[in-house]
Structure formats: C-alpha cells, structure tokens
Structure 1
C-alpha cells in the first residue's frame, strides 16, 4: 500500500489520454518529447488554401501555411457512441475528439468506462473560441437542431457526461490560452470540496480556419515559419497547433486506497487575473508572479523546492521576457541548482485552449518516468532573458530526476489576462510487498470487448502488437488489468495465458482467425449453470494438489474444509492430499488409485475437494442455478445449497466414511452397460445383488456380495454385455450397509437442516427436492442404502432449470460422460474446473473464460493471488476506434418532411460516409420491406432523420440504443412519417412512445393504426 501521507492531501492523476500532432496517444507524445521531435507541418488541404488570402502580406501567408495539425482529425466512430450520422456531421469536431479521448482516459485510469455510468463523475473542459459555430451558424438556411447543439462550447463537456452517463458537474471553460489549466484548477476544487469523487479535466483545440492566425499576425505575435521557439534567440512569435488531452483525477487518498496507478500528484493550483495593465492582450509580470506564489503556498512548498517548470513559453519577445522575470523573482533564491524551465510549444506549437493540458501531461509523464525532456531551441538561448542570473536554465539534454520526492510546476496564461499555475509532485512510492514463491507462473484470463465483431478484431490486433513489444514475463497482472478495464461492451473475447509471449501469440491468432471460438456476443441473459457433485470412485492421490498450489481462493476453501474435518478425522485431509501427490507419482496406476485417500478418509477427502471447488467457483461469481449430488457428492451439494453448514456436513461425511469402512468385507460393485429393466431377471436370480445406481439409459451400477456379482458378470460376458468391476471396498447403496444406518441416523440427528437457497435435485428421489422436504436424519440414513437415481434427477434438472452449462464438481470427470450419454439438449455445455491429476490454475481459468464469453460477469479479483491484485502498474493500449467514418467542416443540409433525398444530407465538401454494419445484431430484410409499405416508410424516415444508409436501418434496430435517437429526432421522425403516410392521420408522440422499441415495433404499431382508421 502506498503512503499517501508522504505528500499530505492532494489530487492524483490516475489516467491520461491525449492526441497531438505526430503523437496519436500518450506513449507517442512521450516519445516525441524525449527525442525532441518537431510536429510542425503544412496545413492539410481540407482546412484552407494559404494562397487564397491575397489581402495578407507574404509573411502572413507563410504563417498561415504551417502549423501543428492532427492526423485524422475528421475521424469519429459515431456507431460506437450510438450517434446518428446526421448528428455526428453537425457536431463540432472538438466534441468528437473529446469523446474518443474521454473513453481512453478512463480506461487508462484502470476502470471500465461503463462502470462509471450513473456516477457523479465531473467533466471540466477548456476550449477556446467557437470556430465551428462561426463557420456554420451564419448560414441560416442550413441551421438544424443538431447543428445548434453541435456548435455549443458547453457541449464539449456535456457530450462526455451524456454519452458516458456521468451525473456530476459538467462545464466548459474559456479563458483563452489558459482554458484547460483553469479547467484542471476547477476540477481539483470539486474533488477537494467533496463535490465529486472522480473528474475528467483537460482541453481541446482544432484550427479550423486561418482567422486567429491573421489576428496573431496583425498583433505582431505570429512566427513567420509557424513555429514557437520558447526562450530562444530565434523566437519570433506564435505558431498555431491543435490537440486534445484529458486527465482523470481522484483524491490522493481514494486513489491509493483503490490501488490505482498514480502518474503524479497535484499539490496545489491557483488562478488569477492581470486586471488593468498595459493592454488586455499583454501579460502582467506581477500577476504571473503572484499566481505561481499562491499555487506554491497552497501546495505547501517553497519555490526553491521546485525542480523544473513547464512554462507557458509561447516564443514571443514580450511574453518570454515577462515570464522569465516573474519566475526568476521567485526561484532564484537559496537554490543549489538553477530551476529547469521549458515549454512543449517548442515541439507542438501553441495548442491554445489545450496548451495547459499539454503542459500538465508533459510534467505528469516526466515525474512518472523520472526524466525531464530537453527543450527544443535550448541551444540558442536568448541572452536578453538573463536566465542564469534569475536562477533558471534551459535543458539541452534530458534531465534524470534523483531518487525521492520531486516537485514541479506548470504555467498557462490566457491572452485576456487569466493566469493559472499548478504544482505537481511525484507519486508516493508503494510500500514494498513480499511475493509468495510459485512453482510456475500464475495463469490469468485476458479479456477484451468491443462494440462490433470488426472492432474486436481491430482491438485484438492493437493489443497483440502492444503485448508483443513487452519483455517476456508472467501475464497474470496484465490479465487482471484487462478484467478491470476491457469489459462492458457487447462482443467479448477471453483467453488464458501464463506469460506475455503466450498472450501475444493468442491475441494475434485470434485477430488473424476472423471470429475465433474465444469471441461471443453478449447474450440477453447470463448462463444458467448447474453443479454436479461427483460420487465415490473419482478419488486419486494428490487430487487437486496442482490447483491448491496455483489458486489462492482454492487454497482458502480447502483449508477451511480441512479445518472443519479435523475434529472428526484426527488427521489433516489437506496434508494427506498434498503428500499423496508426490508419493503417488512413484506408484503404478493400480496403487495410485488406492494410495493416500483409501479407507475411512476417502469420503472426507472427496467432500473437502468438492466443497472447496464449489466454494471457489461461487467466489468467482459462478453461482449455481441448481445442484445435484451423486451419492457422497450430496453432502458438498447440501452445503453449497445452504441446507447444511460446513461443520454439519463435515461431521456427517466423516461419520459416514468411518461407518462404511467398518462394514465387513465381501461387498462389491459392478458397472453394467444395460438398462435396469434388462437386468431384472438376473437380479431376481441373485437376491444378494441390487441396483445401486441408475446413471443413464444404459448406465447401471449393481451392488452386493462379491460372489453374486461375479456370477452376474460371467452371465453378462456370455451375453456380450459389457460389465466392469468398480473395485469398491463396500457394497454401497444396498441392504448390506444396514448394520450402520442407525448410527448414521443418530449422527445426522444432531444437524439442523435448513431450506436450501439453491434448488437441490435429489438423487435419492430422482427429482427436485420439494419445499417441505428437508435433508434430515432420515434422509441421510435412507440415502446411504437407496439406489442413486442420477439419470432421473438429471432429467428433472434439465426440465425444470434448462441449464446452459453443467459443471462437474469433483477431482476428475465422472458424471459428465454419463450426462453426455443421457440425451440432453445439444446446446448444453460441459465444464470441469479440475479435470484430472495434471489440472491446476489453467483449467479453472479456462472455465471462467468460457462462462465469461457466455455472458457471466465473474468476480475477477478472486481469480488472482494477492500479489497480483495489489499491483497497479500495468497499462494496456486504449480502445482502438474505427477510422471508417469521417466528418469534417460541413454539416448536412436540413431536410423537410417528405423531401426526396438521395444521400445522407451532406454538402459536397463532406467525404461520403462508407456503409457500415447494421447497428443491431440482425441483418436487413429487403424482401419484407418491399412487401410492407408501412415498414418501408418507417425505414426511409429513420434513414432521413439520422442520415443512416438504408441497410443499417434493420427491422430489429433499437431507436435509442442502436440508432441514438433523442426527443428532437423523435419529433422529426413523426413529421416525416406523417408526410410519407398521409392516410395515417395525426398520431401523437405519446401514442408513438410505447412503440419506439425498434424499427419493426414502430412499423407494426403504425400498420395497426392505419387498419383501425380504415375500419372506422
């Protein structure tokens, strides 16, 4: 556990995502900074043509021709967020960028984004200006409700809250260039005041027009080559750039308690204003000095403790001079070494509304990696800044931070005079922990989810590449991290892996295989799992010893069973099992079956294993819909169902084992491949032989004296009926056990059986236990003598519960082969958590993975040992969104009811949107559409309102979940349907709402409404 008190109270940065020019994500951003990369390039052709400004002079045109531009700024995976194409095209591209960034930032914080839905998570976004609205709202003929919402600056934050389901504060902040750092300041305040427990904060900036560049030029602030050169003798002004960045913030104490990775800690922030100075766009040294001093005071640090500062550093002569003077007045005193300063604008250019977050992320990464990147243009330091005299220095090479706590600062100043500063500190170091030794690496389940099969393949490839770049190491911690983060979307992938090399190979094989077995669509309901508890005969030396070594949760429950049995058997069943493994390895198969778990301890050992397996699965979230126990397996089944306590069952099974072992020799059991009716004549001739179990249509077990069964076996062999001696020490489930039943009944009389919490299918009765029936003393006494009606009980279980999965609970498969011959539904799947002597943690993990793919949401944390679950340093690639859909600067034209549109309503300057897969799981049905004019009218209206291609508006597509309709679109849909179906008459929205489950249900309702109108 990390020591949060090392830095006192503060706010932890637990998640980061960003995209900047030549840096598509956080890792690429850090790589760009470390190598001192230059992200400035030519203006993309879809933005503007610099030659189209004849009124501008040559210098201005040169400045307009270059800058920092995002690759694929027009990409938006609208289907992922269920945003209709018409709305996506009308949205400010900054909103689209933020949605991608928000999802990935939350993932980076170690949380599945969907798990925060409904929480009071806050969103604070810095955004400068409103170019989108200025470009489009002036064309009144093209104004639509979608464009109105899409042009609002406030929506940059509100979109995130809406799409991810956050209910906390949600606001956009515009203080010009300081917007995003001011947003962080407000977010920190919301956390420390208790208004939120989690906050997303950051900013976004897209350069959609040259307008602000012309303003910079007219103010004398524009760099001729489009590059910022902070603190350099070459500095000649600002070069514009763009980007998006978000951090996920939590109170430090909460982040530490939850074991989240912490990049850095925000110790204190401050915001102030220049007030009336020498111009509203000119900086004020004294205000800058004051905001830095206030932030340090709130952080509880002296300026001399600050090791480095990410300055505002625009590269303007006036701005750099004033900022260095302000910093020097605070940081030059009592320092052993000068304070390092730099500005990421030298790499990126000025990202305006996103400038503060670009600097904050740089500092957080520097503290996290313990290295400060060098500053571009540091080799030509501006001598007029007198940095050395002011206790400052530029980094010509990366600075490695010494061990121990480190403090850094970030400044961001707005063109209108709003200044912000934040003081950050390195994250508290986690306390050292001891790791238990393993005989082999632990196995985990790697999970991945996506919104479509194609998206799942895309993300498998992305993760495979990322994992392959890692050094070979155990994969359990990485798998556990995927269980926390990469869940919650409809299409599921799960695979087991012991190390990263195996994992990378499995991911790549799955990606290249198209749709492998490991992929499944989330069903509408979770799997129905029934537990089948094995009877005697499945035991062997060292059973489940491998699982005991590799599974902490199994160890916990086997230890508990061992402790419960110990007062009644006077020896440790657990130790016997573990010792039996090593000794049994040296035995032959015949000896192996008898060694270590023979005699009166056989039944207690089986009970301990079965109780521990069932409790392990239940702890992992695999809760049975029903239980069925075969013979002695009914004891562990009773505990699992809540009918008996662990101690009661331990007492009973130990007594039963001791009493059965004390019976006279001479008993035997015979397995016969024949129906009970076919054996009736033989049994009539042998009164000392009885039916002990009916396991299936042709699976019968006989019990009786050895002599009687030997004669029956000989007769069966002559009739070519297969029979096998079970080598049982006693004639179980026959009258031969009657001498001990009174003592067994007396022991069972000390229990207080309860009504089970889970349906119990009794193999004594061959059916579901009735609500009034109890597993009392008479039950257990009769159960020991009566035949085991496994086949009947299993058939009743299938009829009553319709299980999707049967899980055998025992040391190796014994009941599943019987169930496979019982004629069950072919859709029932068979699983076993410990199928034999070689089984360990892998088989348990594979069972959980298979049930996860079937729709179960396991308790993942219990799958891993404590040393794995306490780790917080793992990192996975963020979600890889589709790049198929592109929208840029021209929203679609408005449509009128009944308009005859041939396309999705875009202007010619918008690239056409490629056809995508249907939003719902079904496919289009053009034949039924041609035959049903009402359905055709509904499909056409839906396609028009949402700008969907017709093939995506399938019969089963849901209006809200799949098509992203809202109240405004419903009103538009009503108008268009009425225009297409004039005989419909007026239908109110209130009448429509219940029918808006899917396209098909709406068409069905409208068809009925038309029919009723004709009849009237």
Structure 2
C-alpha cells in the first residue's frame, strides 16, 4: 500500500523558496526505487519525507507543499509547484449536518491517522451496545443499516466531525472559529468544550431512540431564495435551512413535502430530495425537541473555550446561550441559518474556511460568499466531495494539511 506523505518547504523570499525546492528535489532524487525493503528504512521515501519535514521545512513567509506516495510523483509535483505567500488567516472549522453523510465517509482514515482513529474508537465505545454495529456499517461498502438512517447518520456525523477536528488540533492547529450546520453545531460544541464527547453521544443516543417514534418526514433542497418559495409553503412545510442566497432547504411531514416538491418542480424550480427520513428543523419534529430537553438538562454545559458561531443565532455563542438546555434541545426543530451565520463570521474577519466532514457542501456554499470571491477568505476541505476509495480520504486530508501549511500555520501531520 502506498504511504502518502506531505512535503513542506519555505523561504524568506521567492529566491530562497526556490533554492529550498531544489534541495528537496536533490534529496528525493537520491531516494532508492521501491523494493522489498521497508519504505521506512533509512533512505526510503517515507523516511526521507519525515526527515525533511522535521529538519528542513523552515518557517519562511513564502511556502510550498506537495503530497505524494513516492519520490517520482513528488519530484513531478515539485516541478509544477508555485510559491505561496503565507497570509496566516485563522482557520475556521465548518461541521456539516444531516444530509451530508454518505457510505464509508472518512473510513479511509481509520487505522491511517492515529488521532482520528482513537477518536472514532472512543465514539463507538460510548455508543454502547450499538457501537460495534455502527462501526461495522460505517466501514462496510454495503451496510446493514443505511447511513441515511438517523441511527447511523447522526452519531457518525458527530464522530467524524469531532475526530477530524481532534486531528487538526493534534497537528498543532488551533481553530480561530467554529461553525456547524445542524448536528454539526453539536460537534462544534464538543470541540469548543461546551459539552463533553460523552455527553454529546448521550444526547445523540437519546435522539436516535426518540426519532423512531416520530412520523415519516423529509427535507428538500431547492435552488431559490426563501422569499421566492413563500407562496408554495402551506401547512407544516417550512424553511428548514438557508445554506446560501439561492439554496434553501424545506422540511416537513413526508406526504405534504412530496406535494410541495411536485408543485415546485411543476413551476420550474430545481428541487432535490435531501437524504433524511425525518423533517428535521421543522415543527414536524417538535417532539424530538421536547424530549431532548430532559437529556440536555442533565449534562454539563460550559461557556465555549473558542469562538463558536451559532447557525441558530447567527452570532458568536454567549456563555448564557451555551448554558441553556432549551437552546440546544430545540435546535433539532429550529431552522438552520447557515448563510447568515457565515456572513457574520466573514464580517468579523478573514478566514481559511476548512470543512471538517463529508461531501464539501459547506465549502461549496462558502465559495459563493463575496469574501471568498474577492480573495479575502479561502476554503479547503478535509474529506473528498464524493464517496471513493480509502486513498481518496487520505489524499484529501493531507492536501488540506498542505493548504493549511501554505497559509502560514505550522503543523505536523503524521
């Protein structure tokens, strides 16, 4: 199996950057061709990469990085590399929610990245009797329980987001801000130490059990602004999320939502079903919010230890809000205002927005924001945009590490 490695270098100016690039190329050119000996033996590619990163990458303001699995590939990437002037914008981690999940999301990192693996193992232990079944379904190409079911999507989205954040922090990156979507706000709250991972899993386990008692529902992504959809919203179908100026998610009971979807398509709107068996973020799941109040009332809720922007208040979370059980319990039924929250975040400062979860839906939305279009902020993702082999997960993670390095952050991946 190829062992992917990032390679970092830097200089105080472009001339020094280029000289360091040539030094790295010389080190790689001397690497023996792959053979029966371990690549970790002295002189092998992985050994050269680790030794270079530990001793020679420097901390200059002009940076470069490549990700490769062998010396020949690294040399080719070096030839095409261009200098990047470090901006040193803080990293804002974005955590996706229900609808972003897919089969084997991030499974390629299990056993590859130690901190990620330990965090996921902890999740499965905390899930109790269903933990090993959830792990088996997560790792399977054809899971017994589909990943879109609440019993799989909710704990795995929490676990993957938390594990990715733990990985980055373990590498030495301290987030400058956090912003979550739906259950992603719970993952962000764990990272900000508003609640522990143990308590977050307890909340999710309760939600999964209570969800089984809710009537069927659904969610519908529509290419339109909320005000354009107002004439089509009747009865229990409501706006469940505002993801960008022209991407709105509707939610409600299954039958009524199907009627609304048919009417919208007949009127010429593009409407895509979101994989969710319930009408999250609508009155259809008010029972989930009510039942969640009791469990949130039993957990320890603390002020955030880093800026946590809420997609429900569209502002940094206050200590009072963080400590309010009803604020957290009602999120399952309240609308997600991701775009207004993102707008507040990018009004407060310029960031490297890094999505810590599957599918890249959030950074895709972020690319439409004026701050990103004008280059004041930028985006990166820790996982691929779509399902793929294990190597794709690993390449995405290390490519994001390379992007964070060229931004000006000093980090040490495995």
Match of 2:381 among 819, 828, 832: 832
RMSD of the alignment, in Å?
2.1
Deviation of residue 669 (structure 1)? 1.6
Q: Are the counterparts in 2 of residues 442 and 550 from structure 1 also a CA contact under 8 Å?
A: no
| Deviation per residue, 1:150-169 (Å, 9 max, x gap) | xxxxxxxxxxxxxxxxxxxx
Residue 623 of structure 1: aligned partner:
174
2:389 is the alignment partner of 1:819: no
Per residue, is there more helix in 1 or in 2? 2
Q: Are the counterparts in 1 of residues 149 and 276 from structure 2 also a CA contact under 8 Å?
A: no
Match of 2:256 among 708, 725, 728: 708
Mean Cα deviation higher: 751-760 or 834-843: 834-843
| Deviation per residue, 1:417-465 (Å, 9 max, x gap) | xxxxxxxxxxxxxxxxxxxxxxx23221112223432233233234323
Residue 768 of structure 1: aligned partner:
316
Q: Are the counterparts in 2 of residues 547 and 834 from structure 1 also a CA contact under 8 Å?
A: no
Residue 494 of structure 1: aligned partner:
65
| 1:4-153 correspondence to structure 2 within 5 Å | none
**What secondary structure does 1:825 align onto?**
helix
Deviation of residue 788 (structure 1)? 0.7
| 1:635-674 correspondence to structure 2 within 5 Å | 635-665=186-216, 667-674=217-224
Deviation of residue 848 (structure 1)? 1.1
**What secondary structure does 1:840 align onto?**
helix
2:410 is the alignment partner of 1:857: yes
Residue 544 of structure 1: aligned partner:
106
**What secondary structure does 1:471 align onto?**
coil
| Deviation per residue, 1:762-811 (Å, 9 max, x gap) | 112222223432253201222111111111111111112321x1111112
Residue 729 of structure 1: aligned partner:
277
Q: Are the counterparts in 2 of residues 635 and 653 from structure 1 also a CA contact under 8 Å?
A: no
Residue 97 of structure 2: aligned partner:
535
Paired with 2:86 and 2:362, the residues of 1 have a C-alpha distance of: 29
2:333 is the alignment partner of 1:785: yes
Q: Are the counterparts in 2 of residues 661 and 730 from structure 1 also a CA contact under 8 Å?
A: no
2:158 is the alignment partner of 1:607: yes
* Alpha-carbon spacing, 1:831–1:570, altered in 2? closer, same or farther (3 Å): closer
Q: Are the counterparts in 1 of residues 312 and 337 from structure 2 also a CA contact under 8 Å?
A: yes
Q: Are the counterparts in 2 of residues 688 and 705 from structure 1 also a CA contact under 8 Å?
A: yes
Deviation of residue 646 (structure 1)? 1.0
Q: Are the counterparts in 2 of residues 566 and 572 from structure 1 also a CA contact under 8 Å?
A: no
Paired with 2:353 and 2:382, the residues of 1 have a C-alpha distance of: 11
* Alpha-carbon spacing, 1:830–1:522, altered in 2? closer, same or farther (3 Å): closer
Residue 101 of structure 1: aligned partner:
none
Paired with 1:522 and 1:819, the residues of 2 have a C-alpha distance of: 21
Q: Are the counterparts in 2 of residues 833 and 847 from structure 1 also a CA contact under 8 Å?
A: yes
Residue 561 of structure 1: aligned partner:
123
**What secondary structure does 1:700 align onto?**
strand
Paired with 1:554 and 1:810, the residues of 2 have a C-alpha distance of: 12
**What secondary structure does 2:110 align onto?**
helix
**What secondary structure does 1:788 align onto?**
coil
Paired with 2:383 and 2:372, the residues of 1 have a C-alpha distance of: 24
**What secondary structure does 1:811 align onto?**
coil
| 1:679-758 correspondence to structure 2 within 5 Å | 679-683=229-233, 686-758=234-306
Q: Are the counterparts in 1 of residues 239 and 250 from structure 2 also a CA contact under 8 Å?
A: yes
Q: Are the counterparts in 1 of residues 210 and 288 from structure 2 also a CA contact under 8 Å?
A: yes
| Deviation per residue, 1:526-553 (Å, 9 max, x gap) | 3211111101112222221111132222
Q: Are the counterparts in 1 of residues 241 and 249 from structure 2 also a CA contact under 8 Å?
A: yes
Paired with 1:682 and 1:775, the residues of 2 have a C-alpha distance of: 37
**What secondary structure does 1:773 align onto?**
helix
**What secondary structure does 1:670 align onto?**
strand
Gaps of 5+ in 2: 40-44
**What secondary structure does 2:92 align onto?**
strand
* Alpha-carbon spacing, 1:442–1:662, altered in 2? closer, same or farther (3 Å): farther
Paired with 1:545 and 1:455, the residues of 2 have a C-alpha distance of: 39
Deviation of residue 597 (structure 1)? 5.6
Deviation of residue 596 (structure 1)? 4.8
Residue 576 of structure 1: aligned partner:
137
* Alpha-carbon spacing, 1:461–1:661, altered in 2? closer, same or farther (3 Å): same
Residue 42 of structure 2: aligned partner:
none
Residue 347 of structure 2: aligned partner:
799
Larger-gyration structure (1/2): 1
Q: Are the counterparts in 2 of residues 444 and 845 from structure 1 also a CA contact under 8 Å?
A: yes
Paired with 1:492 and 1:641, the residues of 2 have a C-alpha distance of: 30
Deviation of residue 631 (structure 1)? 0.6
**What secondary structure does 2:111 align onto?**
helix
Deviation of residue 727 (structure 1)? 4.1
Residue 934 of structure 1: aligned partner:
none
Q: Are the counterparts in 1 of residues 146 and 152 from structure 2 also a CA contact under 8 Å?
A: no
Residue 232 of structure 1: aligned partner:
none
| Deviation per residue, 1:379-405 (Å, 9 max, x gap) | xxxxxxxxxxxxxxxxxxxxxxxxxxx
Residue 119 of structure 1: aligned partner:
none
Mean Cα deviation higher: 702-711 or 776-785: 702-711
Greater relative CO, 1 or 2 (CA 8 Å, sep 6+) = 2
Q: Runs of at least 4 residues of structure 1 off by over 6 A?
A: none
Paired with 1:613 and 1:498, the residues of 2 have a C-alpha distance of: 22
Paired with 2:61 and 2:229, the residues of 1 have a C-alpha distance of: 53
Residue 14 of structure 2: aligned partner:
453
| 1:874-953 correspondence to structure 2 within 5 Å | none
Residue 206 of structure 1: aligned partner:
none
* Alpha-carbon spacing, 1:572–1:477, altered in 2? closer, same or farther (3 Å): farther
Paired with 1:522 and 1:676, the residues of 2 have a C-alpha distance of: 38
TM-score relative to the length of structure 1: 0.38
Match of 1:506 among 63, 77, 82: 77
2:53 is the alignment partner of 1:483: yes
Paired with 2:153 and 2:311, the residues of 1 have a C-alpha distance of: 20
**What secondary structure does 2:320 align onto?**
coil
Residue 364 of structure 1: aligned partner:
none
| 1:288-687 correspondence to structure 2 within 5 Å | 440-473=1-34, 474=39, 475-486=45-56, 487-507=58-78, 509-510=79-80, 516-517=81-82, 519-523=83-87, 526-566=88-128, 569=130, 571-578=132-139, 580-581=140-141, 583=142, 595-596=146-147, 598-665=149-216, 667-683=217-233, 686-687=234-235
Equivalenced residue count is 398
Paired with 2:20 and 2:309, the residues of 1 have a C-alpha distance of: 44
* Alpha-carbon spacing, 1:598–1:560, altered in 2? closer, same or farther (3 Å): same
Q: Are the counterparts in 2 of residues 648 and 751 from structure 1 also a CA contact under 8 Å?
A: yes
| Deviation per residue, 1:250-270 (Å, 9 max, x gap) | xxxxxxxxxxxxxxxxxxxxx
**What secondary structure does 1:772 align onto?**
helix
